[in-house]
C-alpha cells in the first residue's frame, strides 16, 4: 500500500466531509446546532453578470428558493480577497477579513457548518475548505440543492437576515497551502493535480486567463470526474481507485484549478479517498499572468 492509498476504515476515521439530505433534515428537525450556508456561484454566472449590478452572483437564485434557515454567502467577496494579476482571480482572504465574515454569520467555535450549492459542490467546496482552514467542523451537502429537492423537502423563499455577530476568534492555517514560489519545484518532485477541464489543461481553449496550457509537470485530473451523473460524489472506493491511477507513490499531493475554487472540490474528493492534499490558491490565474513562468500544452500527462 502506498502513502496515497488508505483502507476503507482509515477513510472513515476522518471527519466526514459529506452529509446527505436525509441526515441534514433529521438533524435540523431535532434541533441540532447546525449553520447552513448557501454558496451558489459559477464561473459562467460570474462572467454573465452585469458589471453595474451590486447583486452577488447566486443571490437571486437563493432568494427564489433555499434550504430553510440557510444564510447566503458571497463567494467573490467573503470567500476570496480582491482579484489581481499578481495573486489570481480568487486569492484567499486574510485571516482578519475571514474572521469578520464568520462573525457576521454568527458562527461559534463548536458549530457544525453545512455548505451547499446547485453545482455538485463545485463552489460549496471552497467554503468547506476555508472553514476547515479556519478550524470549523464543516461538511458539504452531497448532491447539493438538487438532492434536497429530489428528496421531497421544501424550500424557503426570500432573504434571511444575518444573526447577531459573534465574537469568535478563528484558527488559521489548519490545512496545507502550496505557495506560488514553490509550485515549480513541487510539480517536479510531487504530484500536482490540475483540476480544470481537460481541454483547458491541454491548452486547446482558455476562456478566462491570459495564457493557455498548464504548469509543467502537472497531471490532468478534471474535477468533473469526482462526481456521478446525479451530482453526488463517487464512492470512497471509486475515488481511491481514480487517484491511485494518477498519483505517484510516496510523494506529497497538491491541487490547482483556474482560480482556486474548484481545486477545493478536488481536495474534498481526495479527502474522501483518505488522501491529504495542499491547495495552490493562485492557481492558473496567477501562474499564467506571469509571462516569465513556463507552461506546457498537450496531453502527455492526462487521464
- DSSP type of residue 219: E
Cα 260 off chain centre by: 8
Q: Which of the residues 79, 131, 193, 257 is marked catalytic? A: 257
Buried b (16+ CB within 10 A) or exposed e, 277-297: bbbbbbbbbbbbbeeeeebbe
Phi-psi region of 58 (alpha: psi -120 to 50; beta: other; left: phi over 0): left
Q: Catalytic annotation on 49?
A: no
Torsion of CA 212, 240, 228, 56, to 10 degrees: -50
DSSP string, 169-192: ------S-B--GGGHHHHHHHSEE
Q: Which residues are catalytic?
A: 257
Amino acid at each position: 500500500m502506498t502513502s496515497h492509498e488508505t483502507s476503507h476504515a482509515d477513510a472513515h476515521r476522518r471527519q466526514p466531509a459529506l452529509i446527505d439530505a436525509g441526515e441534514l433534515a433529521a438533524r435540523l428537525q431535532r434541533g441540532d446546532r447546525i449553520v447552513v450556508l448557501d454558496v451558489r456561484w459559477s464561473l459562467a454566472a460570474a462572467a454573465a453578470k452585469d458589471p453595474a449590478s451590486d447583486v452577488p452572483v447566486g443571490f437571486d437564485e437563493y432568494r427564489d428558493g433555499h434550504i430553510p434557515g440557510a444564510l447566503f454567502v458571497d463567494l467573490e467577496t467573503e470567500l476570496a480577497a480582491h482579484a489581481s494579476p499578481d495573486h489570481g482571480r480568487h486569492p484567499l482572504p486574510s485571516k482578519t477579513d475571514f474572521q469578520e465574515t464568520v462573525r457576521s454569520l454568527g458562527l461559534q467555535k463548536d458549530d457544525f457548518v453545512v455548505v451547499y450549492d446547485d453545482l455538485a459542490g463545485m463552489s460549496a467546496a471552497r467554503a468547506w475548505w476555508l472553514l476547515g482552514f479556519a478550524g470549523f467542523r464543516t461538511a458539504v451537502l452531497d448532491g447539493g440543492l438538487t438532492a434536497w429537492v429530489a428528496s421531497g423537502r421544501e424550500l424557503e423563499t426570500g432573504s434571511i437576515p444575518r444573526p447577531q455577530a459573534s465574537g469568535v476568534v478563528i484558527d488559521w492555517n489548519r490545512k496545507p497551502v502550496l505557495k506560488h514560489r514553490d509550485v515549480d519545484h513541487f510539480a517536479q518532485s510531487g504530484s500536482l493535480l490540475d483540476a480544470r477541464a481537460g481541454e483547458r489543461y491541454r491548452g486547446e481553449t482558455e476562456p478566462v486567463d491570459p495564457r493557455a496550457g498548464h504548469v509543467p509537470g502537472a497531471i490532468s485530473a478534471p474535477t468533473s470526474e469526482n462526481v456521478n451523473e446525479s451530482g453526488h460524489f463517487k464512492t470512497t472506493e471509486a475515488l481511491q481507485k481514480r487517484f491511485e491511477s494518477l498519483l505517484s507513490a510516496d510523494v506529497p499531493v497538491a491541487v490547482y484549478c483556474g482560480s482556486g475554487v474548484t481545486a477545493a472540490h478536488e481536495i474534498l474528493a481526495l479527502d474522501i479517498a483518505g488522501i491529504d492534499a495542499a491547495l495552490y490558491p493562485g492557481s492558473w490565474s496567477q501562474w499564467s499572468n506571469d509571462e516569465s513562468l513556463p507552461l506546457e500544452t498537450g496531453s502527455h500527462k492526462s487521464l
